Amino acid sequence: MSALLSTRALSKSFAGLRAVHEVDFDLEPGEIRALIGPNGAGKTTLVSMLIGRVAPTSGTIHFEGRDITRLPAHARVRLGMAYTFQITSVFARLDVAENVALAARRRLGGDRAAVARETAAVLERVGLAGHGDALAGDLSYGHQRLLELAMGLAQAPRLLILDEPTQGLAEGEIAAFRQLIRDVAADATVLLIEHNMGVVMALADRITVLDFGEVLAEGSPAGIHASAAVQAAYLGTGADA
């Protein structure tokens, strides 16, 4: 099976400081992959290169066999990549439904009826059906995270990248989120950057561990959990159980 997304020798340095170093990464269609590692491991920099927010120093990125290394972020969205930020990026002064509608219009254009149907369906899917008229800025932080996820889903992406999506969610909301991601994975590939190891172990088909900007380990949840190197670098350092 050909990888949906792949990198080869992907590297990024900032003023001589090596943030990511020669990362080879292959994401298969339909899988849920978790990207974990200690703070400062290079996760955000790697993802920022994948989505086009940061240009690599060297190396390549391919999406569905196409070289997108120099493609701008908005063009990657059009190809089917969607990303939710670690810090919420909703439009605080617009209502919840309009936030989702803006995302839906990127795909559906000016068909108002189709946009309205998609908006309602996505809000229902993430558990925000009763909040459509609320200002996005008035939502709790956890609900803003769900709204951002809804905005990503409205684009019907082939690849959905989620950066710390459970941050700010209550325990019951996390359980619902886990089920939602399983449902999403029926239609899209998911790359999950997450510190909550309970979520990672419950959801991920495979896990990639970064440390000091390099791939430390990659494998099944059971294999990663049993890895002495991963225990020493990350799982034994107070990561959420």
Per-residue pLDDT tens for 49-85?
999 999 999 999 999 999 999 999 999 999 999 988 6
For 115, residues 6+ apart whose C-beta sits below 8 A from its C-beta are: 101, 104, 105, 108
Runs of H (alpha helix) within 66-189: 73-79, 96-108, 112-126, 141-153, 171-184
List phi, psi (to 5°) of 120: -65, -40
**Contact indicator for 239, 197 with CB cutoff of 8 Å:** yes
- Number of other residues whose CB lies within 10 A of the CB of residue 5: 22
CA distance 71 to 228: 38
Which pLDDT value is given to residue 241? 33
Which regions of the chain carry the CATH code 3.40.50.300? 30-57+68-80+157-241
CA distance 147 to 122: 9
Which pLDDT value is given to residue 165? 86
Contacts 24+ apart (CB under 8 A), 213-216: 213/18, 213/19, 213/20, 213/21, 213/23, 213/41, 213/42, 213/45, 214/20, 214/21, 214/22, 214/23, 214/42, 215/23, 215/24, 215/25, 216/37
CATH topology for 30-57+68-80+157-241 is Rossmann fold (3.40.50)
Which pLDDT value is given to residue 238? 44
CA distance 86 to 44: 9
Task: Show the low-confidence residues of the chain (pLDDT under 70).
Answer: 1, 85-88, 235-241
